[in-house]
């Protein structure tokens, strides 16, 4: 029954993230906006472009949703509220999120359209830029927790949250998580101004609804992962654990979505250059610093 409870909370969380996203893109805060647009999309035609790669085209949104959901399955919302507390939780999260790349590449290749194609391959470049910056900070977090269990990772932050213990890792992980969820300013695959929708542009109707749902779940999963790894998970005074999880996750999601409005879209060359020339050395430094701290502090 914990599974159902978690799924229910995820649904509510995804809905709220969708409201936040609609607010940041359109400027109107309407609680009924996601429901309205979901129903509207359900009622519209859902076409398959001519000469599309049918398997890729159909599989992409489903794979995006599935991989994001599997990633969310290892995130604890409260001490006992987790779908599967895998012994390799942090690793599994990474593995599940790796399929986001596959999904977007399929979405780029499938429709046989120019904008989608460019968007898909650009996302591959983006993945190469951020992938190490997701894994290396998780390493540092696991070093402190001496475990890959996500519940253990949260428990290890009882004294001091990781955001203060390893701030460098937090900054890198947060930026890389935004790039993974392709939120602005990292929205290279679905750029509105450069690719007229990109990989998302050829999806219509219910398939578009599934694609967007997958993206919302991905944002929620990454926000929850940030909270788990760096913000102490469910820990906090006064309120029950699930409330703290909810508040922190929504705050992180809102920050991710709002940051995009403040900056222009990043150039792919810059993303790769900064990720590798600045990000990797900083991530290695972070691992070293945490290694020293873990050994020195009791």
Partner 1 sequence: MIAGARQGRLSGLRRLTALAMARDLRAFLVPGPEIARAHGLDIEAAGLLRVASPRHASVLLVVGAIPPALREAAAIVYAQMVRPRALFALGTQTLSPLPAADVGARLSQDELVEGVHRLRRAFAEGAFRPQVSSFDTPILHVRIQYTCPMHPEVIRDEPGTCPKCGMTLVPHETRAEGGSAHRHHHTMDSGTPGQAASEPGHSGHPGMDHAALVQYTCPMHPEVIRDEPGTCPKCGMTLVPHETRAEGGSVHRHHHHTMDSGTPGQAASEPGHSGHPGMDHSAMDHSAMDHGDGMFMSMVEVTRDLPRSIDGLAMDWIDVPFGPFFPGLPGGLQLMLTLDGDTVARSAAHAQRDMEPLLPAPDLDPVRFVSRLTEMDPLSPVSYRLLACRAMEDAAGAEVPDDIARGRVGALERERIASHLGWLALFAQQTGLGWLMGDAAGLQLHVRHADLKRLMGLRPALRTLTRRLRRTPLLKARTAGLGRLAPDPTLRGPVVRATGIGADARHTDSTCAMLGFTAITRTGGDALARLFVRVEEITHSLALIETAGVVERPEPADTGEASGAGEAVVETPRGEARLQLTLDKGRVSAARLGTPSMRHLELVGPLTEGQELGDALVAVGSLDLSPWGTGQ
Partner 2 sequence: MNALEQYGLLLGLAVGTVGVVLSLYGLARRIGKVRREPGKDVPATAGQLSRDPVWVRYHARYYGYALLFLAFDMEMAYMYPWAVVYRQEGLVALLDMGVFLAILFLGLLYGWSQGALRRQ
Task: Give the up-direction half-sphere exposure of residue 238: CA atoms within 13 A in the CB hemisphere.
Answer: 0
Residue 266: DSSP 8-state: P
Look at residue 263 and give the partner it binds from partner 1, partner 2, none, a contact being a CB closer than 5 to 8 Å depending on partner kind.
partner 1
* Rounded-to-integer distance, Cα 19 and Cα 17, Å: 5
Beta-ladder partners of 78: 81
What is the nearest approach in angstroms of partner 1 to the Cβ of residue 201?
A: 4
Look at residue 273 and give the partner it binds from partner 2, partner 1, none, a contact being a CB closer than 5 to 8 Å depending on partner kind.
partner 2
In the block, tokens 């599994």 appear at 92
- Residues whose CB falls within 8 Å of the CB of residue 222, separated by 6 or more in sequence, listed in order: 97, 177, 178, 180, 181, 256
* 182 touches partner 1 by CB under 8 A: no
- Residues whose CB falls within 8 Å of the CB of residue 243, separated by 6 or more in sequence, listed in order: none
Query: For residues 29 and 288, which CB has a smaller minimum distance to partner 2 in the complex?
Result: 288
* 171 touches partner 1 by CB under 8 A: no
Query: For residues 37 and 112, which CB has a smaller minimum distance to partner 2 in the complex?
Result: 112
Q: Which two tokens stand for residue 94?
A: 């990474």
Query: For residues 210 and 252, which CB has a smaller minimum distance to partner 2 in the complex?
Result: 210
H/E segment holding residue 263: none
Query: For residues 72 and 257, which CB has a smaller minimum distance to partner 2 in the complex?
Result: 72
The runs of H, that is alpha helices, within 28-148 are: 33-43, 54-72, 89-109, 114-145
Query: For residues 42 and 297, which CB has a smaller minimum distance to partner 1 in the complex?
Result: 42
Look at residue 192 and give the partner it binds from partner 2, partner 1, none, a contact being a CB closer than 5 to 8 Å depending on partner kind.
partner 1
Query: For residues 2 and 204, which CB has a smaller minimum distance to partner 1 in the complex?
Result: 204
3-state secondary structure of 118: helix
Look at residue 295 and give the partner it binds from partner 1, partner 2, none, a contact being a CB closer than 5 to 8 Å depending on partner kind.
partner 2
3-state secondary structure of 189: coil
* 262 touches partner 1 by CB under 8 A: yes
Q: Which residue in the set 118, 172, 210, 283 belongs to the binding site for partner 1 (CB under 8 A)?
A: 118
Q: Which two tokens stand for residue 55?
A: 């398997």
Q: Which residue in the set 2, 5, 7, 37 belongs to the binding site for partner 1 (CB under 8 A)?
A: 37
Residue 200: DSSP 8-state: G
Look at residue 187 and give the partner it binds from partner 1, partner 2, none, a contact being a CB closer than 5 to 8 Å depending on partner kind.
partner 1
Angle CA(216)–CA(220)–CA(226) in degrees, nearest 5?
Answer: 145
Query: For residues 95 and 259, which CB has a smaller minimum distance to partner 2 in the complex?
Result: 95
What is the nearest approach in angstroms of partner 1 to the Cβ of residue 232?
A: 28
Nearest to 85 by CA among 148, 5, 139: 148
Look at residue 210 and give the partner it binds from partner 1, partner 2, none, a contact being a CB closer than 5 to 8 Å depending on partner kind.
partner 2
Q: Which residues bind partner 1 (CB under 8 A)?
A: 24-27, 32-33, 35-40, 42-47, 51, 109, 114-115, 117-118, 121-122, 184-185, 187-188, 191-197, 200-205, 208, 260-270
């Amino acid at each position: 029954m914990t599974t159902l409870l978690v799924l229910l909370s995820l649904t509510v969380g995804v809905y709220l993230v969708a409201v936040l996203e609609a607010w940041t893109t359109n400027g109107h805060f309407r609680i009924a906006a996601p429901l309205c647009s979901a129903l509207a999309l359900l009622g519209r035609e859902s076409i398959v472009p001519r000469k599309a790669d049918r398997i890729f085209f159909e599989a992409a949104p489903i794979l995006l949703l599935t991989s994001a959901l599997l990633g969310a399955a290892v995130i604890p919302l409260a001490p006992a509220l987790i779908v599967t507390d895998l012994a390799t939780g942090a690793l599994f999260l990474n593995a599940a999120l790796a399929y986001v790349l596959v999904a977007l590449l399929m979405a780029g290749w499938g429709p046989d359209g120019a904008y989608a194609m460019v968007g898909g391959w650009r996302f591959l470049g983006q993945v190469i830029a951020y992938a190490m910056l997701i894994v290396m900070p998780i390493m540092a977090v696991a070093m402190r927790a001496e475990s890959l269990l996500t519940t253990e990772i949260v428990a290890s932050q009882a004294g001091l949250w990781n955001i203060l213990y390893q701030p460098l890792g937090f900054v890198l992980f947060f930026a890389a998580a935004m790039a993974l969820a392709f939120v602005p300013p990292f929205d290279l695959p679905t750029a509105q101004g450069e690719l007229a929708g990109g990989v998302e542009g050829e999806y219509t109707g219910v398939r578009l609804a599934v694609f967007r749902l997958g993206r919302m779940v991905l944002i929620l999963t990454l926000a929850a992962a940030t909270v788990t790894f760096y913000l102490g998970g469910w820990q906090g005074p006064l309120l029950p654990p699930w409330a703290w999880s909810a508040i922190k996750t929504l705050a992180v999601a809102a920050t991710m979505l709002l940051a995009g409005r403040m900056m222009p879209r990043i150039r792919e060359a810059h993303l790769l250059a900064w990720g590798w020339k600045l990000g990797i050395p900083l991530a290695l430094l972070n691992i070293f610093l945490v290694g020293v701290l873990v050994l020195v502090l009791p």
